[in-house]
Protein backbone atom coordinates (compact mmCIF):
# COMPACT_ATOMS: atom_id res chain seq x y z
CA UNK A 1 0.00 0.00 0.00
CA UNK A 2 1.36 3.41 -0.97
CA UNK A 3 -0.80 5.26 1.58
CA UNK A 4 -1.53 4.81 5.23
CA UNK A 5 -3.75 7.79 5.82
CA UNK A 6 -5.30 10.55 3.86
CA UNK A 7 -4.58 14.19 4.42
CA UNK A 8 -7.01 16.85 3.34
CA UNK A 9 -5.73 19.73 1.23
CA UNK A 10 -9.22 21.23 1.15
CA UNK A 11 -9.48 22.82 4.54
CA UNK A 12 -9.81 26.19 2.96
CA UNK A 13 -10.46 25.79 -0.74
CA UNK A 14 -9.39 28.87 -2.63
CA UNK A 15 -10.90 30.06 -5.88
CA UNK A 16 -10.66 29.26 -8.62
CA UNK A 17 -11.06 25.58 -7.96
CA UNK A 18 -12.04 22.83 -10.35
CA UNK A 19 -13.47 19.47 -9.34
CA UNK A 20 -13.75 16.77 -12.00
CA UNK A 21 -15.61 13.50 -11.48
CA UNK A 22 -14.14 11.09 -14.01
CA UNK A 23 -14.14 7.47 -15.02
CA UNK A 24 -11.10 5.72 -13.46
CA UNK A 25 -9.33 5.24 -16.79
CA UNK A 26 -9.34 9.00 -17.42
CA UNK A 27 -7.26 9.83 -14.35
CA UNK A 28 -4.04 9.00 -16.18
CA UNK A 29 -4.69 11.88 -18.56
CA UNK A 30 -3.73 14.16 -15.69
CA UNK A 31 -0.48 12.37 -14.88
CA UNK A 32 1.21 14.65 -17.43
CA UNK A 33 0.90 17.41 -14.85
CA UNK A 34 3.37 15.70 -12.56
CA UNK A 35 6.22 15.96 -15.06
CA UNK A 36 6.35 19.74 -14.82
CA UNK A 37 5.09 19.60 -11.27
CA UNK A 38 2.05 20.49 -9.20
CA UNK A 39 1.91 22.54 -6.03
CA UNK A 40 0.85 20.87 -2.83
CA UNK A 41 0.56 22.12 0.72
CA UNK A 42 3.56 21.46 2.91
CA UNK A 43 5.02 22.32 6.25
CA UNK A 44 8.08 24.33 5.38
CA UNK A 45 10.90 23.35 7.71
CA UNK A 46 9.74 19.74 7.95
CA UNK A 47 11.84 16.89 6.62
CA UNK A 48 11.04 15.30 3.29
CA UNK A 49 10.11 12.12 5.13
CA UNK A 50 7.65 14.00 7.30
CA UNK A 51 6.19 15.77 4.28
CA UNK A 52 5.67 12.53 2.37
CA UNK A 53 4.40 10.41 5.24
CA UNK A 54 2.69 12.85 7.60
CA UNK A 55 1.77 15.50 5.06
CA UNK A 56 0.73 13.48 2.03
CA UNK A 57 -0.04 10.26 3.87
CA UNK A 58 2.31 7.94 2.01
CA UNK A 59 3.25 4.67 3.64
CA UNK A 60 6.81 4.88 5.09
CA UNK A 61 7.59 1.50 3.56
CA UNK A 62 6.59 2.82 0.15
CA UNK A 63 8.80 5.87 0.61
CA UNK A 64 11.70 3.70 1.71
CA UNK A 65 11.42 0.99 -0.93
CA UNK A 66 9.75 2.52 -3.92
CA UNK A 67 10.82 6.15 -4.03
CA UNK A 68 14.44 5.48 -4.81
CA UNK A 69 15.35 8.83 -6.30
CA UNK A 70 14.73 12.25 -4.75
CA UNK A 71 15.81 15.71 -5.73
CA UNK A 72 15.37 18.77 -3.58
CA UNK A 73 15.92 21.89 -5.65
CA UNK A 74 17.85 19.83 -8.16
CA UNK A 75 20.16 18.22 -5.59
CA UNK A 76 20.15 14.46 -5.10
CA UNK A 77 18.92 13.56 -1.64
CA UNK A 78 20.47 10.65 0.23
CA UNK A 79 18.60 10.91 3.52
CA UNK A 80 14.98 12.12 3.41
CA UNK A 81 14.78 11.97 7.20
CA UNK A 82 17.27 14.81 7.53
CA UNK A 83 16.77 16.91 4.39
CA UNK A 84 14.48 19.83 5.26
CA UNK A 85 12.03 21.49 2.89
CA UNK A 86 12.78 25.21 2.46
CA UNK A 87 10.55 27.92 1.02
CA UNK A 88 9.95 27.70 -2.74
CA UNK A 89 11.12 24.10 -2.76
CA UNK A 90 11.00 21.87 -5.82
CA UNK A 91 10.82 18.22 -4.83
CA UNK A 92 11.14 15.59 -7.57
CA UNK A 93 10.55 11.91 -6.88
CA UNK A 94 11.10 8.81 -8.96
CA UNK A 95 11.21 5.06 -8.69
CA UNK A 96 14.56 3.37 -9.35
CA UNK A 97 16.04 4.52 -12.64
CA UNK A 98 18.11 2.69 -15.26
CA UNK A 99 21.54 3.66 -16.41
CA UNK A 100 24.73 4.46 -14.59
CA UNK A 101 23.33 7.83 -13.66
CA UNK A 102 20.09 6.32 -12.56
CA UNK A 103 22.01 4.14 -10.13
CA UNK A 104 24.30 6.98 -9.11
CA UNK A 105 21.46 9.36 -8.35
CA UNK A 106 19.59 6.96 -6.05
CA UNK A 107 19.34 7.91 -2.40
CA UNK A 108 22.20 6.37 -0.50
CA UNK A 109 23.70 5.05 -3.71
CA UNK A 110 26.86 3.00 -3.56
CA UNK A 111 28.06 5.34 -6.30
CA UNK A 112 26.99 8.58 -4.63
CA UNK A 113 30.58 9.82 -4.53
CA UNK A 114 30.43 10.11 -8.31
CA UNK A 115 27.86 12.91 -8.05
CA UNK A 116 29.00 14.62 -4.85
CA UNK A 117 28.85 18.07 -6.52
CA UNK A 118 25.09 17.77 -6.88
CA UNK A 119 24.33 15.91 -3.67
CA UNK A 120 22.07 17.62 -1.18
CA UNK A 121 24.20 18.71 1.74
CA UNK A 122 23.63 20.68 4.95
CA UNK A 123 21.34 23.65 4.76
CA UNK A 124 20.44 26.73 6.75
CA UNK A 125 17.83 26.35 9.47
CA UNK A 126 14.26 26.99 8.35
CA UNK A 127 11.60 28.28 10.72
CA UNK A 128 8.51 26.08 10.46
CA UNK A 129 5.47 27.53 8.70
CA UNK A 130 2.79 26.57 6.19
CA UNK A 131 3.63 26.81 2.52
CA UNK A 132 3.65 24.93 -0.76
CA UNK A 133 6.05 22.63 -2.55
CA UNK A 134 6.31 22.13 -6.29
CA UNK A 135 6.08 18.34 -6.48
CA UNK A 136 7.24 16.41 -9.54
CA UNK A 137 6.70 12.70 -10.07
CA UNK A 138 8.50 10.63 -12.67
CA UNK A 139 8.69 7.10 -13.97
CA UNK A 140 6.29 4.68 -12.23
CA UNK A 141 5.20 7.05 -9.48
CA UNK A 142 2.43 8.98 -11.29
CA UNK A 143 0.69 5.69 -12.00
CA UNK A 144 1.02 4.58 -8.40
CA UNK A 145 0.22 7.68 -6.38
CA UNK A 146 -0.98 10.20 -8.97
CA UNK A 147 -4.67 9.39 -8.57
CA UNK A 148 -4.42 9.67 -4.80
CA UNK A 149 -2.80 13.09 -5.01
CA UNK A 150 -5.27 14.33 -7.61
CA UNK A 151 -8.13 13.21 -5.44
CA UNK A 152 -6.55 15.07 -2.56
CA UNK A 153 -6.19 18.17 -4.68
CA UNK A 154 -3.24 19.99 -6.21
CA UNK A 155 -2.59 23.51 -7.43
CA UNK A 156 -1.64 23.97 -11.08
CA UNK A 157 -0.82 27.07 -13.07
CA UNK A 158 -3.70 28.38 -15.16
CA UNK A 159 -1.85 28.13 -18.46
CA UNK A 160 -0.79 24.57 -17.66
CA UNK A 161 -4.38 23.56 -17.01
CA UNK A 162 -5.56 25.35 -20.13
CA UNK A 163 -3.01 23.49 -22.26
CA UNK A 164 -3.88 20.13 -20.74
CA UNK A 165 -7.61 20.56 -21.21
CA UNK A 166 -7.13 21.78 -24.77
CA UNK A 167 -4.88 18.84 -25.61
CA UNK A 168 -7.13 16.22 -24.03
CA UNK A 169 -10.58 17.65 -24.66
CA UNK A 170 -11.86 14.65 -26.60
CA UNK A 171 -10.89 12.21 -23.91
CA UNK A 172 -12.24 14.54 -21.25
CA UNK A 173 -15.55 14.77 -23.04
CA UNK A 174 -15.76 10.97 -23.05
CA UNK A 175 -14.51 10.26 -19.58
CA UNK A 176 -15.53 13.20 -17.44
CA UNK A 177 -18.86 12.57 -15.73
CA UNK A 178 -19.28 15.94 -14.06
CA UNK A 179 -17.30 19.14 -13.64
CA UNK A 180 -17.64 21.79 -10.95
CA UNK A 181 -15.97 25.16 -11.17
CA UNK A 182 -15.95 27.03 -7.88
CA UNK A 183 -18.74 24.74 -6.70
CA UNK A 184 -21.00 25.24 -9.73
CA UNK A 185 -21.66 22.61 -12.37
CA UNK A 186 -20.17 23.46 -15.74
CA UNK A 187 -20.06 21.86 -19.17
CA UNK A 188 -16.73 20.09 -19.75
CA UNK A 189 -16.40 21.49 -23.26
CA UNK A 190 -16.66 25.01 -21.91
CA UNK A 191 -13.49 24.48 -19.90
CA UNK A 192 -11.44 24.52 -23.06
CA UNK A 193 -12.54 28.09 -23.74
CA UNK A 194 -12.10 29.37 -20.24
CA UNK A 195 -9.46 32.02 -19.83
CA UNK A 196 -7.38 30.79 -16.94
CA UNK A 197 -5.03 33.50 -15.70
CA UNK A 198 -1.58 32.24 -16.71
CA UNK A 199 0.13 33.17 -13.48
CA UNK A 200 -2.72 32.19 -11.16
CA UNK A 201 -2.91 28.79 -9.56
CA UNK A 202 -6.06 26.71 -9.87
CA UNK A 203 -6.93 24.18 -7.19
CA UNK A 204 -7.65 20.99 -9.11
CA UNK A 205 -9.25 17.88 -7.79
CA UNK A 206 -9.87 14.80 -9.92
CA UNK A 207 -12.18 12.28 -8.37
CA UNK A 208 -12.25 8.89 -10.09
CA UNK A 209 -15.65 7.14 -9.77
Which chain residues interact with other proteins by CB under 8 A? 31-32, 35-36, 66, 68-69, 71, 74-76, 92, 94-105, 108, 110-118, 136, 138-140, 142
99 or 183: whose CB is closer to other proteins? Answer: 99
Give me the sheet containing 38-44, strands edge to edge: 75-76, 69-72, 90-94, 129-138, 38-44, 154-157, 201-208, 17-22, 176-181, 184-186
Phi-psi region of 40 (alpha: psi -120 to 50; beta: other; left: phi over 0): beta
Nearest-approach distance from CB 58 to other proteins, in angstroms: 16
Nearest-approach distance from CB 196 to other proteins, in angstroms: 19
100 or 124: whose CB is closer to other proteins? Answer: 100
Asked if residue 203 lies in contact with residue 13, where contact means CB atoms within 8 angstroms, the answer is: yes
- 79: cis peptide before it, omega within 30°? no
Amino acid sequence: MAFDKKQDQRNSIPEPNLLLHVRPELARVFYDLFQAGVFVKAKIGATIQAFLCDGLGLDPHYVEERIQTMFLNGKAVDDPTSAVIPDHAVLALSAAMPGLLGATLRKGSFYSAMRSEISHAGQAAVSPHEGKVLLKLFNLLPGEIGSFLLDLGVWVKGDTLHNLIGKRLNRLAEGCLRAELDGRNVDVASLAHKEWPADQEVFLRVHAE
